[in-house]
Structure 1
């Protein structure tokens, strides 16, 4: 089992997503879905306001991330369902797979956030948690939508049977085109473990000078 709560993330709400529950097909591969909020970002007010809006409208994903500040928040446990997708007929897309981790990035689909973001330790923590569930660094449905009118692939058979990363535009039954034309390679590379600087070589210890007893002196009479 992977990470359920990301230690680096701020808890949003009471830790429970209304209507969330167990996954329908836990024997199917795990996946992550990327969304964009289509609103402002870069401030505490924007972050909290977006979180409040999602909770008030019962649209909560698992994760809210601000690419300009590296702020990370979590609404509910990663091993339960979120509420950011529309069903595909009888397929409950929010409950497909071992996990279906959904991330709302505070950005607009029309301006790829990978072109101006500042990923840091919190984004690395997010990808660490995603990978802890065995979600591969792959995009099974292929390309993401490049514009509002672009009809990106949404194959149901791929969604049900392939683990990896999906854009909202790749999920069957949904009609949104977010997260837009993000750089998928850069997205996954930003979560790589940072290279550790080499440890300095400790200096070779210099042996202490050998102790020698002082010579005995005869008392000199006065």
Structure 2
């Protein structure tokens, strides 16, 4: 029996940095705040939209300001994300080779965006379930959603692989008792992943394909 495969979304399956940065900067500028270059926004991604905005605003910004900019970001992103979001090269082909295996997506992106993006970019991939950040389950790195997925599959967590590009994904896998698989083409540097305890970092999509072929 092959293990179940839980994939992170941003920085793992899709390059969404251009779309996120565009919407974030428009939201910031609309309320009088400075914008950020892609290298900075890259560092902000991974903990959900609230944390994305909090990190982009001046330190100590009040919660009301964060929520206001976050809402502006969500409204813009809902309309514009397709302009700056695409699968990483090789990912669609990799997913095609996984037919018949249990596949899921677990992201800290707001749930409606996660569902819409996966449906649009991977319409033939049988991900079940697709989960973004929801109010009823704590976001990564808490293990709640990962364990919910394992329960849906009736799979022991130890028989699931959690595949992602961030230290948050590593922490989630460990908290859930799953095997972490660190990828190196996303938004966290390989050195940071190794410092966080990744035994190895798969540098290319082809490396992940080779790993999963024997997993």
TM-score (norm 1): 0.30
TM-score (norm 2): 0.31
**Quick check: which has more Rg, 1 or 2?**
1
Q: Normalized per residue, which structure has more strand?
A: 2
Q: Normalized per residue, which structure has more helix?
A: 2
